[in-house]
Homo-oligomer: A and B are copies of this chain.
Amino acid sequence: MAPKYKMTYFPVKGLGEPIRFLFAYGGVDYEDYRFEDEQWPQLQGKMPYGQVPILEVENKRIHQSVAISRYLAKQFGLAGKDDWEAMQIDAIIDTITDLRTRLANVHYDEDPVSKERNREPLMKETVPFFMSRFEDEVKSNNGYFVNGKLTWADLYFVAILDYLDVMAGKDLLENRPNLQALKAKILALPSIKEWVAKRPYSDA
C-alpha cells in the first residue's frame, strides 16, 4: 500500500491549493487537513519555521509550498523532461512567487498610509508588467508556460490565481486571452474539474 500523505493548511486555497491540484492531478489519496483560524496561534509553534502548508508522510514532515509542489510534480511527470526544462519551469514558478510577494507586501500592510501609497505603482506598473509577460510567455509557448506542454507551472499558476486575484482586488486575467485559455484548459482537465467541483468553498 502506498504511504498516506497528510497536508496541513488554513481552510483556504492560498499556498495550499497548488499542492491540492497536484494531488488531484496525480490521483493520489491524501488527508486535506484544514485547521480553523483560532487554532493557528497554538499550532504555529509546532510548525517547522512557524509556517504552513506542511506535508507529512511516514513520520517525516516538510514545509515550503513550492518545494512540496515540485516534489509532487516529479512524482506525476510534470517537472520537465531534462534539467534545462526543469529550470525553465522553476524560473516561471519563482517569477509567480515574485508577483505574489509584491501583492502580499501591499495586501498585508497594516499601515493604511503606506498601503495606499504603494498600491498605485503596484497596480499600475508591477502587476501589468508581470501579467503582460506571462501572457506573452503562454502565447509564444503554444498555450502553456513552458515548451508547449503541460507542466506544474501551469497547474501552479491556475491553482494560486484566486489568491492572487483577492490580493490584487481584481481579475488578473482581464484582457489576457491566452492566460484565460490556459486557465480554462487546466480547469477542464477531468481530475482538476472533479477536485474544483468538490472542494470546500473559500474566496482566497
Contacts and interface: CB of A to CB of B under 8 A. Distances in A.
Interface of A: 48-51, 60, 62-64, 66-68, 70-71, 74-75, 83-84, 86-88, 90-91, 93-95, 98, 101, 105, 111, 114, 117, 129-130, 133
A72 to B, nearest CB: 9
A15 to B, nearest CB: 11
24 contacts: A48-B133, A49-B130, A49-B133, A51-B98, A60-B84, A63-B91, A64-B95, A66-B90, A66-B94, A67-B87, A67-B90, A67-B91, A67-B93, A67-B94, A68-B91, A70-B90, A71-B83, A71-B84, A74-B83, A74-B86, A75-B83, A105-B105, A111-B114, A114-B114
B114 A87 contact: no
Given A49-B130, A50-B129, A60-B84, 12 more contacts: A48-B133, A62-B87, A62-B88, A62-B91, A64-B90, A64-B91, A64-B95, A67-B90, A67-B93, A67-B94, A75-B83, A101-B101
